Every structure is written in C-alpha cells, then in structure tokens.
Amino acid sequence: MRARAREGLTSMPGFNEIDRVRMPEGGTVNSGSPDGATRRKRTFSDRIPKSLLIVAALLVAYGLLVVWSAVQGSETYSFSRQALGVLMGCIVMLMFYQLDYRQLSSYTTVLLVINVVLILSPHLPVIGVESKGAQSWINVGMQLQPGEFAKITIILMDAALVARYGGRLDDLREYLKVILFILVPFLAIMTQPDLGTGLVYLAIGAMALVAGGARPKYLLITLALGIAAIAAVFAIDQVIYNSTGEYKLLKQYQRNRLLVFLDQDGSNTSSSGYNLQQAKIAIGSGGLFGKGLLNATQSGHGFLPEAQTDFIFCVLAEQFGFVGSMALLALYGALIYVSMRIARNSNDLFGTLIVMCVVGMWLFQILENIGMDCGLMPITGIPLPFVSYGSTGMIMSFMALGLIGSVWRGSNIDKKKEGRL
C-alpha cells in the first residue's frame, strides 16, 4: 500500500518520499547528529508551523484593514463582528491543530451524513433564514451559514475517500463511486440554491481526484460531461421558459450573471451588469498606488454594492492600487506555497490530500472572486479567503488552517522521533 501511495501523486514529485513511522509525541529532538548523541529540548517554535502562521497573520491583518475601511459609515456591517470572527477562528484553529486527523480516515459515510445535515439545516423551520434569494442561513442567536462549515467536512470526506485507493484510482467502477460521493453535497447545496458554494465543493473534489491519482482520461471525460450538463440545463430551461413563461431550473439572477459575463459591453442593465461595471471602475480608478485608505469613492459613496463581501477586492484595489493588489496576491501565493510544502512532507496520503483539498478550495475561491471583479469570471457569491466580511467564512478559513497545522504536526512529530530534525 505504501508503494502505491507514492505512485499516485505523479504530477507532484516528492510527495511521500520518506518511509513514515507513526510514533507518539516526545520531549526531545535530535539536533542533527547521526548517532543521536546531541539532543536538545523541544521549544515552542518547534511545535508550530511558523511560516504558515506568519503568512496567515499578515493576510488576516491586511484583510481586517480593508474590511475596517469598507464598513465605515455602514449600519449593516460591523467591524467588531469581523474581529470577533477572527478571535473565534483562532480558537477553533487551535482545536483543529490538536486533532489527530488520521482517526477520521475511515469515517467517510459519517462525514457524508454530516455534510448533508449541515447543508440542509437552513430548510428547517424556525431557524432557517432566507437571504438574497437563497435559503442558506440559520439563526441560532447569530446568523451562520452551515454550507461554509460543510466545506471542512467535505475536505475530510473527499480526502479519506480517495486515500483508500493508495494513490491509484484507475478502476472505473471505483471512480464512479467517488464521483457519486462528491456529487451528493453539490446536489444538496443546490436545493438552497447556492451555486457558488456548490462550485467550491466540486473544486475540492476535483483536487482530491487529481492529487489522489485518478486516471487523466477519466478526469477529462468528467470535465466534458460537466460542461455538457451545464449547457443542457440552460437549453432545457429556455425550452421551459418558451412554453410557460418562467425559468424553472435556474433563477433569473443566475442567468443574468452568466449573460453579463458573456456580454460585457455595458448594454446589460440588470443588477449584475451594474455591479460588474462599478467593480471595473473601482479597480481601474485605483491606478498604481491607489487613492489611499478611506478614500475609495465607489464603495465609500455607495456605488459598489456588496463592497464588504463579494467585491471586497475592489475596495482594496481602489485604495491601494496595483501595488496593494499585488501584495495581496503575493501573500496568497506564499500561503499556497507553504501549504503545498506541508502536503509534500506529509507522512501519509490522507494528510497530503487534506492539505491539497484545502489548497484547491483556496485557489478556486481566490481565482473566482478576483476574476469576477475583473470580468474574467462569472459573478458568484464566493468570498475572498481571510479578507471578505463574514464571521462564518472567517471561522471556516481558520478551520482549514488548523487542519493543515494538524497534518504538519503529525509529520513533524514522526520526523523528530526518527531523529531527522
């Protein structure tokens, strides 16, 4: 099984390249002497992934600064609520860091049930809340979006499911089983409907398949079928509209978002068309160095809707310009790089896939959010990790950090015990 695990990640050389041995946590580490003669006490810095935490701290601080500037004068959004989300996220991150992720590798069915329960919970009477055309929220004293938390259980489920095959998912029947598991949360979230979050679920599953050694032929066929399914949905919905005068499969705002993406000449007068035009104006007006903190006119004067959430990147670009935007992308690049190094050094395929699924989720959210602001991607309600306003999304992002830290901790403990650190 260990040999097969090494073969699976052919597209990522270097994964699982060391023989791994699970050992309990100890109190001393080898300082480099081959015979283990020289030892030192483990310090606090030995117990934490410093690079990951430094990059995350800089990213969160940058995001808080942008959110603080975006919520000034707003009666709907509160900076203290965002700060509380960061505090709660830090607590949850420490809890996940202490978690032994390996114990979850055999609970795929349980994780699937948890996913479905979380995603469908907004449909429950009393606690379910509808907002902006989607039944995506629950009110338990504070409003939460369970579909965001489901991203974490989906990461664990997809990683555990694919890790069973030891890095070689080349049997068609088994591949179809995995696809079925991946599709269940997506179909559940579409009952709200929340297409943006559903696409994130699919991105997580896609990364698990790629990193887990699925055959390229199967992946290409799946991609082609997915594109064909999207086209079929629009075609069937148009036929229904021609017969009944109503769209049944997609809501009007969802169709508008796609039409705006395909036709950006400004002729589309829907709210999505207006949002995109204002987003482009905000980004372009920032210039090289931006207008300065609190000097954003598009968001500050209310021209840019959802400036604190979906279009937070526009606020950043208008205030800090091209240089500030590149700084954000550099921090994201560092976060992805550090995470992939942790995945590469993981002691087992399950740990590797957990980190890679988190990376896949972050990459998709970053590319989609920034891409839609620039007119390069269709408009969706996907938040920008660690930057967009929202306590639920912030806590979820810290959970993902905690999972990566848990994988780092597990592999680091083993290596210290073996005397390689």
Cα–Cα dist 200/147, whole Å: 10
pLDDT at 47: 66
pLDDT at 279: 86
Average pLDDT along the chain: 83
pLDDT at 235: 84
pLDDT at 40: 53
Q: What is the mean pLDDT of residues 376-386?
A: 87
Per-residue pLDDT at 376 exceeds 90: no
Exposure b/e, 57-82, CB count within 10 A at least 16 = b: ebbbebbbebbebbbeeeeebebeeb
pLDDT tens digits, 216-267:
999 999 999 998 988 888 888 888 888 887 777 777 777 777 777 766 665 5
pLDDT at 157: 94
Cα–Cα dist 191/157, whole Å: 21
Q: What is the mean pLDDT of residues 387-406?
A: 93
306: left (phi over 0), alpha (psi -120 to 50) or beta: left
Confidence of residue 330 (pLDDT cuts 50, 70, 90): very high
| Residue bearing the bigger pLDDT, 301 or 103 | 103
Structure tokens at 358: 């988190």
Cα–Cα dist 129/120, whole Å: 12
167: left (phi over 0), alpha (psi -120 to 50) or beta: left
Q: Is the CB of residue 294 less than 8 Å from the CB of residue 72?
A: yes
Cα–Cα dist 163/161, whole Å: 6
Which strand (E) or helix (H) includes residue 271? Answer: helix 271-285
Q: What is the mean pLDDT of residues 336-361?
A: 94
| Residue bearing the bigger pLDDT, 406 or 19 | 406
Q: Is the CB of residue 150 less than 8 Å from the CB of residue 200?
A: no
| 3-state helix, strand and coil shares in percent for the chain, rounded to the nearest 5 | 65, 5, 30
In 262-330, the DSSP E strands lie at none
Per-residue pLDDT at 210 exceeds 60: yes
Instruction: Give the SS3 label for residue 139.
Output: strand
Contacts for 365 with CB less than 8 Å, ≥ 6 apart: 200, 382, 383, 384, 385
Whether the model clears a pTM of 0.75, i.e. scores above it, the answer is yes
pLDDT at 257: 73
Would you mind telling me the total number of residues written for the chain in this entry?
Answer: 421
Q: Nearest CA to 400 among 415, 383, 380? A: 383
Cα–Cα dist 145/259, whole Å: 28
Cα–Cα dist 69/237, whole Å: 42
Structure tokens at 35: 């015979």
Q: Is the CB of residue 346 less than 8 Å from the CB of residue 352?
A: yes
pLDDT tens digits, 47-67:
678 899 999 999 999 999 999
Exposure b/e, 301-311, CB count within 10 A at least 16 = b: eeebbbbbbbb
pLDDT at 212: 92
In 54-175, the DSSP E strands lie at 128-131, 134-139, 143-144
Report how far apart, in Å, the C-alpha atoms of 421 and of each of 28, 100, 241, 383, 414 are. Answer: 10, 21, 65, 38, 10
Report how far apart, in Å, the C-alpha atoms of 247 and of each of 149, 238, 260, 265 are. Answer: 30, 7, 17, 25
pLDDT tens digits, 15-38:
443 333 333 344 444 444 444 444
Cα–Cα dist 299/303, whole Å: 6
Confidence of residue 14 (pLDDT cuts 50, 70, 90): very low
Instruction: Give the SS3 label for residue 28.
Output: strand
Q: What is the mean pLDDT of residues 144-159?
A: 92
pLDDT at 355: 96
Q: Is the CB of residue 401 less than 8 Å from the CB of residue 45?
A: no
Exposure b/e, 328-351, CB count within 10 A at least 16 = b: beebbebbbebbbbbbbbbbbbbb
Cα–Cα dist 258/237, whole Å: 14
Give the other-Cβ count within 10 Å of 418's Cβ: 15
Structure tokens at 234: 């629009």
